[in-house]
Amino acid sequence: MAACLLGPLASMGAGLAGCTGMQLTSCAISSLCSFACAAVGRTVGGNGTKATQVSRTARVTYLGLFLVTTMIAGIFRDVVPEQLGKIEWLSKNLSCPPDRDSPTCVARAFVLRMCCAHVAFHMVLAFACIGADDLENPRSVFHTGAWGVKTLVWGLAHLSTLFMPSTFFLDFGWLALACGVLFLMVQIILFIDWVFAWNESWIDKDGTNNVTGPWHLALGGVSLVGFTTALTLSGFLYTWFGHSTGDMSADCGMYIFFITLNLIMFLFLTGMSFKATEWMPSTGLMPSAMVSLFMTFKLTAGLYAQNQCNVIAQGPSLYKGPPGVVSAISIGIAVVLAAYNSVWISGSMEATANREKAVLPTLRKESASPAPATTEAGAAPAAAGPGAG
- Give the alpha-carbon dihedral of 28, 29, 30, 35, to 10 degrees: 90
Number of domains the chain contains: 1
Residue 68 lies in a domain: yes
Residue 188 to residues 121, 182, 191, 330, 356: CA-CA distances in angstroms?
25, 10, 5, 12, 34
Q: Can you give the residue range of the structural domain that contains 318?
A: 2-345
Radius of gyration of the chain (CA): 28
3-state secondary structure of 325: helix
Most confidently predicted of 226-240, 304-318, 326-340: 226-240
How far is the C-alpha of 113 from the C-alpha of 120, rounded, in Å?
11
Residue 371 lies in a domain: no
Q: What pLDDT band is residue 136 in, cutting at 50, 70 and 90?
A: confident
How far is the C-alpha of 153 from the C-alpha of 80, rounded, in Å?
21
| pLDDT of residue 113 exceeding 70 | yes
Residue 205 lies in a domain: yes
Residue 23 lies in a domain: yes
Backbone phi, psi, residue 322, to 5°: -50, -40
> What confidence score (pLDDT) does residue 387 get?
47
Residue 114 lies in a domain: yes
| pLDDT of residue 351 exceeding 60 | no
| pLDDT of residue 204 exceeding 70 | yes
How far is the C-alpha of 147 from the C-alpha of 266, rounded, in Å?
44
How far is the C-alpha of 75 from the C-alpha of 22, rounded, in Å?
9
189 contacts 280 by C-beta, under 8 angstroms: no
| pLDDT of residue 257 exceeding 70 | yes
How far is the C-alpha of 143 from the C-alpha of 121, rounded, in Å?
12
> What confidence score (pLDDT) does residue 335 get?
61
Per-position b or e across 159-173, b if 16+ CB within 10 A of its CB: eebbeeebeebbebb
How far is the C-alpha of 309 from the C-alpha of 257, rounded, in Å?
13
Distance of CA 384 to the CA centre of its chain: 71
Among 111, 75, 118, CA closest to 96: 111
More confident residue, 131 or 49: 131
Residue 364 lies in a domain: no
How far is the C-alpha of 39 from the C-alpha of 60, rounded, in Å?
11
More confident residue, 233 or 12: 233
> What confidence score (pLDDT) does residue 200 get?
85
| pLDDT of residue 386 exceeding 80 | no
Distance of CA 317 to the CA centre of its chain: 30
203 contacts 284 by C-beta, under 8 angstroms: yes
Residue 322 to residues 129, 135, 225, 303: CA-CA distances in angstroms?
38, 41, 21, 12
pLDDT in tens, 167-188: 888 888 888 888 878 877 877 8
> What confidence score (pLDDT) does residue 295 get?
87
Mark residue 308 as left, alpha or beta (left: phi above 0; alpha: psi -120 to 50; beta: remaining): beta
pTM of the model: 0.60
Q: What pLDDT band is residue 260 in, cutting at 50, 70 and 90?
A: very high
pLDDT in tens, 70-105: 777 777 666 666 666 666 666 777 777 776 666 667
SS3 for 198-267 is: HHHHHHHHHCCCCCCCHHHHHHHHHHHHHHHHHHHHHHHHHHHHCCCCCCCCCCCHHHHHHHHHHHHHHH
Residue 63 lies in a domain: yes
Residue 361 lies in a domain: no
Residue 290 to residues 32, 37, 66, 219, 297: CA-CA distances in angstroms?
20, 22, 27, 11, 10
Rounded to an integer, the average pLDDT of 31-52 is 45
End-to-end Cα, the chain, rounded Å: 61
How far is the C-alpha of 127 from the C-alpha of 119, rounded, in Å?
12
| pLDDT of residue 197 exceeding 60 | yes
More confident residue, 52 or 298: 298
SS3 for 355-374 is: HHHHHHHHHHHHHHCCCCHH
How far is the C-alpha of 43 from the C-alpha of 39, rounded, in Å?
8
Neighbour count for residue 234 (Cβ, 10 Å): 18
